[in-house]
Amino acid sequence: MRRLWLLVILAVLGLALRVQAGQGCFGPKCHSRGKIIKGQPHQPVASEQCDKCHFPHVSRYKYLLKAPQTEICFSCHKKIKEDISKASFVHKPVAEKSCLRCHSPHSSTHKALLKKDIKNMCFSCHKDLQTKFKYSHLPFTKGRCLSCHDPHFSQDRRLIKMESNKLCFSCHKDRNKIAKIHGENINRVECLSCHQPHGSNKKGILRPISHKPYAEKNCKVCHQTKKRGVALCLQCHNKNINSFEHFHNHLLGSCEENACLVCHNPHVGDTKDLLKDKPKYLCESCHFQVKQQRAKSLYVHPKCDQCTNCHLTHGSDHPAMLINGGNETCVRCHKTQGKFTHPVGEKVIDPRNGQPITCVTCHEPMGTNFKYNLRLSGEATLCLECHKNY
């Protein structure tokens, strides 16, 4: 009789351990192995260690997970977690802790447990990317996005795997051939400043809009002149100097040999003003705190990332290089606020500093934690700054 009891206890213990180790999860009446494992299994699934991620009975997390999903992933993939913390730019799903947006947790027929093949995976979000070009870059045509991009993080905002020229030269190894076209400057210029890495309708996958002398192959206009620095550009764009003659300006002498080249590409670009990058990214490359402010604010102006809607780029007489004063800039869109609002304008003086009250006295469009982008709570705190006895 004693022996029988001992056997029963051992059998129960054995079953419990089996369940704990995950071996009891798969079965015809529970979780079908065939349904869960399709293709290459995730290592804990292959070794039937379901308990690495799941509790067998109860959990406060969905799918009986032992912890929030990302925490579970990073409990094994520690290196990625560490690298992400050091990276300047993180892919949005990673930043949003959504590993499962791209990866399947149990198994996949695709590399790296991806839910789809790489091309379809990337294009499931990046739907706006132009795909048809007269001239295409081979890795792009073949859907090998990860030849150039890192899917998790990068030190470059384009999430490229390494410094851009290094990346290009890792395939385009024939430096002599490149030097024949570009001269000896190949190490001084960034390939991506002129070449569109996915494709282009211009030969040499060049960016679409060309500087007139470059389009006309009239290189000597710029390259065979004694003019140097800003004067080189001003020999054609002579009226532009006036746009800098304002209280505030963006003339950053010595940042480049020619200050214009801080923001403009002298050969080709994606925009008619031949900016080096989209305005948002170009501005953020110096004004990085704006991006941080936007990220940590609950309320941000909806067009906050279209900097040139409100700010001038060469020069302005207004603080923050606004297009116009703190009222005039806003009422271009907020037309009714220009007519019916808290009194603003030259005759309405802020008691705190004696300056005229404008929209930006109370609102901070770059982002705050208060509704309507108010600088302080609109319930009372903000008003009491001026209306002390109210």
Partner 1 sequence: MFRMSQKLLILNLLVILFLVSSAWSFKLKFSLEKGSDDIHLRQPFTAFFDQSNLRLYIADTGNNRLVSYELDGTPLKEFDAAGQLRGPIAMIRDDQGNLWVVERPLNSLTFIDLKAHRLERHQIIYQDNPVLIDRLIWWSPYLMLLDRTSGKVLALDNNLNIKRVITPEDPNFRGFIDFKIKGDILWGLENITGRIFAINLKNNQENIIYPQIKMVLPISIEIDNQENLYILDRDLKKVFVFDKNGHLRYSFLKEGFQPGQVRYPWQLLFVKSNLLVVDEGNGRVDVWGH
Contact residues for partner 1 (CB under 8 A)? 226-231, 234, 241, 244-247, 249, 251-255, 259, 286-289, 317, 319-320, 349-350, 352-355, 361, 385
- Minimum CB separation of residue 49 from partner 1 in Å reads 43
Supply the minimum distance, in Å, between the C-beta of residue 376 and partner 1: 10
Q: Are residues 106 and 41 in contact, defined by beta-carbon separation less than 8 angstroms?
A: yes
Strand partners for 349: 356
Residue 169 or residue 244: which is nearer to partner 1 going by CB? Answer: 244
Cβ-based nearer residue to partner 1, 234 or 383: 234
Question: Smallest gap, in angstroms, from Cβ of residue 259 to partner 1?
Answer: 6
Residue ranges in 237-303 assigned as alpha helix (H): 279-284, 288-296
Q: Which DSSP category does 261 fall into? A: G
Judged by beta carbon, residue 230 or residue 275, the one nearer partner 1 is 230
Among the residues of the chain, which ranges form H helices? 2-20, 33-36, 43-46, 69-76, 78-86, 92-95, 118-123, 138-141, 164-169, 175-182, 191-194, 212-215, 220-223, 230-234, 279-284, 288-296, 328-331, 359-362, 381-384
Which residue, 43 or 240, is less far from partner 1 as judged by CB?
Answer: 240
Q: Name the region of 340 (left: φ>0; alpha: ψ -120 to 50; beta: rest).
A: beta
Give the chain's count of helices (H) and strands (E). 19, 12
For residue 375 the two structure tokens come to 């600088």
Shortest Cβ distance from residue 151 to partner 1 (Å)? 28
Q: What's the min distance (Å) between Cβ of 389 and partner 1?
A: 17
Give min distance, CB of 184 to partner 1, in A.
18
* Amino acid type, 203: K
Residue of 92, 94, 72, 93 lying closest to 83 (CA atoms) = 94
Minimum CB distance to partner 1 smaller for 24 or for 229: 229
Based on CB atoms, which residue is closest to partner 1, 156 or 364?
Answer: 364
Cα distances (angstroms) measured from residue 51 to each of 63, 71, 103, 125, 198: 12, 15, 19, 32, 43
Give least dist CB 381 to partner 1, A. 13
Residue 244 or 299 with smaller CB distance to partner 1: 244
Cβ proximity to partner 1, 335 vs 388, nearer residue:
388
What distance in Å separates the CA atoms of residue 42 and residue 64, rounded to the nearest whole number?
18
CB 165 within 8 A of CB 187: yes
Select 128 or 184, whichever has its Cβ closest to partner 1: 184
Phi/psi at 94 (nearest 5 deg)?
Answer: -70, -45
Minimum gap (Å) between residue 213 Cβ and partner 1: 19
CB of 91 to partner 1, least distance (A): 24
- Burial code (b: 16+ CB inside 10 Å, e: under 16) for 129-141 equals eeeebeebbebbe
